[in-house]
Structure 1
Amino acid sequence: MSHDTQASTLAPPPSASTVSNANPWLAVLSVALSAIVFCTTEFLPIGLLRYISAGMRVSEGTAGLMVTAPGLLAAFAAPLVAIGVGRMDRRSVLLGLSALLIFSNLLSMLANSFPLLIAARILFGIGLGGFWAVGAGIGSRLVAAASAGRATSIIFAGVSIGMLVGGSGGALIGELAGAGAAFGGALALSILSFVAQAIWLPKLPVERAMPARELLGIVATSAGRSGLLAMLLVLCGQFAAYTYVTPFLAQHTGFDARAISGILFGYTLIGLVGNFLVGGLGGRNEKTALAATIALFVVSVSLLPVLGDTPVWTLALMAAWGLAYGAMPLALQMWVTRAAPHVPEGGMALYVGNFQASIALGSFVGGLVVDGFGVSQAVIAGGLLGLIALVVLYAFAGKVLEPGTR
């Protein structure tokens, strides 16, 4: 997911009953906390991958299914939940999805076999896709119209915070106490977020259900089709490489667990800078912003296997990679929003589905490459997919999103 405040357009205007909530910003924070926990749980296996691989006696490529399985389920869940909930009160929907998050984390914590762990991750994927399909624009319903953008930004900040906690925290906790303890921490946070929403979220009725035909509205435009294809390719490249970054840093550069935890923390922290940078550029030219983001990703990832045996170069390239990925979801979402302004809800649901499908496919492809050729080759494959995405962007997008066009 991303941090784009334009997601606020996906929800209906706030009603009087919504805005009159006594603690609107506490309601926003409760949804933001849920976003943090969902994203923490999503990226937790990346930091834990080595430990689960060794503890459950599966290959590192097979362990990557912990990322593939929920991504695949989330890809289907996002559009299905967006359509299936109809006019159901969104407070009830979010609480139900948060309850599913609690159960999946409990099952993950108690799992004593890899198949059981995968089953827990599948349940999590359903909750993840549903949460973003429903929660992406909920901020604009919790506060007055003038504050809608700020509310949505706070909710989407949960993505970066979740990556910080999940990736680096998972690596550290896995080293100190094992994977079960890491999932136990996620369980505690998921209970806290459920309680916060139960206390602070007001009723959120809706007047109009999203028709299924809106899902395909974005593919009716050339910019929409090229953007979705480029998005699929570059995010597949991102997660083909990033899912296996922990064993790469350990095997190729020789960093220990504590150093890897710090690197992943810095990677995501620098990503926040990338988000702000693309926010300033994207308003003037979405195509340039997205192309620059993908190009930086390609260069940094492609050079890692070449220069990654030197710690200084590894740190510099990981920083550049973090900057690129921090900007990428926002740049992609701005593209999708601009390409299909006539179907904002359908565009967002398809964006979420495509994003999660990319995570699933990328981590799966990366796993095949890791098991067949090695970790370094998975990183190279990620860079190659990003390069193809850049070609698609310039070959098929045309001038639809050039400055001044609407």
Structure 2
Amino acid sequence: MAKSNSLLVYILAFGIFGIINTEMGVIGILPQIAAQFSVDVSQAGLLVSLFALAVAIAGPFLPLLFSGINRKTTLLLVLGVFVITNVFSVFAPNFTVLLIARIIPAFLHPVYFSVAFVAATRTAGKDQAAKASSKVFMGVTAGMVIGTPITSLIADVVSLQAAMWFFAAVNAVAFLGILLFIPSMPVQGRLSYGTQLGVLKKPIVWLSMATAAFVLSGLYAVYSFFAEYLDKVTHMTGKEISVMLVLFGATGIAGNLLAGKWLSLNAVRTALLFPFGFGAIYVLVYFLGMFSIPMILIVLAWGVYFTLGLNISQYWITSAAPEAPEFANGLFVAFGNLGVTIGTAIGGLFISNMGIQHVVWSGLLFLVLGLISILLRAKLYHSKQRFNGPTEIIASS
């Protein structure tokens, strides 16, 4: 039984990887896409920002609508749509068609995310729920920080079309894994819409959502143009950029492991220190970004802190509303992707008006806003909470 549950969790995580890879994998190939479709890199960035905007719009609502449907059916439906639209993306005749083919599946992104997390934790049982959730979250991390360099490497070594086939292939493998190895999962004891929506009455939830939006904006205002920065400022070749993305992904996995430890020890302190650490990285990127060796060292820290920010944001929201886990995960996906949308758009504006090197200031702006929201939450709720390990931010208004 334990082996069966573990297999289920890893299959769910691989599906998460496929979906997040579809969303974020294009970051590493934006320069190639811009050249292929004769658009500038800020326009190509719409493939990231509009996808994220669709997720943000759907995040609070579609998980609620699907919450009563058999979970296996829901997972297969979502992955099936991702496979089909990714195949259409390979043959897109122009940038508009490519953009539409990416936006359509984006609306179902939060549905898979919410169902996968809840299915994994419910299957594992209460005593193993946190461990199962962390394993599924590894799929999120892998999709964001490993899928991007893999896609970039395929595009550089083979072709842009081959990289886009990679998106479809990963989702197809995940689809088959769920179809063949995951049993039917009918929903039992579904919470009413009113009960789930009731968590929005808690001010701590809104502060948590604001923090997630600001933090993700701060991350993606710069990371969305990571490849472009290394190209234009650091003057790296395509292969060197691919190596840097792989390095970023490898250190990102280490960051995911550290995040679990640090959040368990003291979540509020970890959250409060995060903007300062990441801000220091951006300052170093600005002043040393034109030098290859310093940038390699900076990327080592950048990858660690990047995934730490992702973990903080997810934990911040879901632990604020533990009584409605599907809805809480949907809120994280929605506001996290809202942050990706805003950050990428503002980062693109900084590039258009000031140049690629100055994009780091857009990231710093959002980190300051994130710090303010974290401080507000800590100030408003510290007197009500006993911060002790991983339960320290589980609160009610």
Relative to the length of structure 1, the TM-score reads: 0.89
Partner of 1:8: none
Q: Alignment partner of 1:253: what SS?
A: coil
Distance 2:249 2:146 in 1: 9
Deviation at 1:57, TM superposition (A): 0.5
Moved more, 247-256 or 277-286: 277-286
What are the within-5 Å matches in structure 2 for residues 225-374 of structure 1? 225-374=206-355
Q: Alignment partner of 1:284: what SS?
A: helix
Distance change in 2, residues 1:302/1:385 (3 Å): farther
Distance 2:334 2:378 in 1: 21
Match of 1:183 among 155, 158, 164: 164
Distance change in 2, residues 1:335/1:29 (3 Å): closer
Moved more, 265-274 or 57-66: 265-274
Partner of 1:73: 54
Structure 1 segments unaligned to the other structure (5+ residues):
1-18
Q: Alignment partner of 2:39: what SS?
A: coil
Deviation at 1:243, TM superposition (A): 0.5
Deviation at 1:388, TM superposition (A): 2.3
**Paired amino acid for 2:91:** L
Deviation at 1:178, TM superposition (A): 2.5
What are the within-5 Å matches in structure 2 for residues 98-113 of structure 1? 98-113=79-94
- CA deviation string 1:42-95 (max 9, x = no partner): 111101100011110101000001101111111122222211114210100000
Distance 1:79 1:164 in 2: 25
Distance 1:86 1:153 in 2: 22
Moved more, 334-343 or 61-70: 334-343
Match of 2:39 among 50, 55, 58: 58
Partner of 2:188: 207
Q: 2:68·2:190 contact (CA, 8 Å) conserved in 1?
A: yes
Q: Is 1:398 equivalent to 2:379 in the alignment? A: yes
**Paired amino acid for 2:262:** L
Distance change in 2, residues 1:72/1:208 (3 Å): farther
Q: 1:300·1:317 contact (CA, 8 Å) conserved in 2?
A: yes
Structure 2 segments unaligned to the other structure (5+ residues):
none
What are the within-5 Å matches in structure 2 for residues 87-236 of structure 1? 87-143=68-124, 145-214=126-195, 216-236=197-217
**Paired amino acid for 2:157:** L
- CA deviation string 1:300-338 (max 9, x = no partner): 023212111112221222222211111112222222233
- CA deviation string 1:104-134 (max 9, x = no partner): 2101111121001101110231232221122
Deviation at 1:228, TM superposition (A): 1.9
Deviation at 1:146, TM superposition (A): 4.3
Q: Alignment partner of 1:111: what SS?
A: coil
Percent of aligned pairs with the same amino acid: 25
Q: 1:271·1:323 contact (CA, 8 Å) conserved in 2?
A: yes
Distance 1:245 1:352 in 2: 22
Distance 1:394 1:165 in 2: 32
Deviation at 1:259, TM superposition (A): 1.3
Distance 1:71 1:395 in 2: 26
Q: Alignment partner of 1:261: what SS?
A: helix
Q: 1:74·1:130 contact (CA, 8 Å) conserved in 2?
A: no
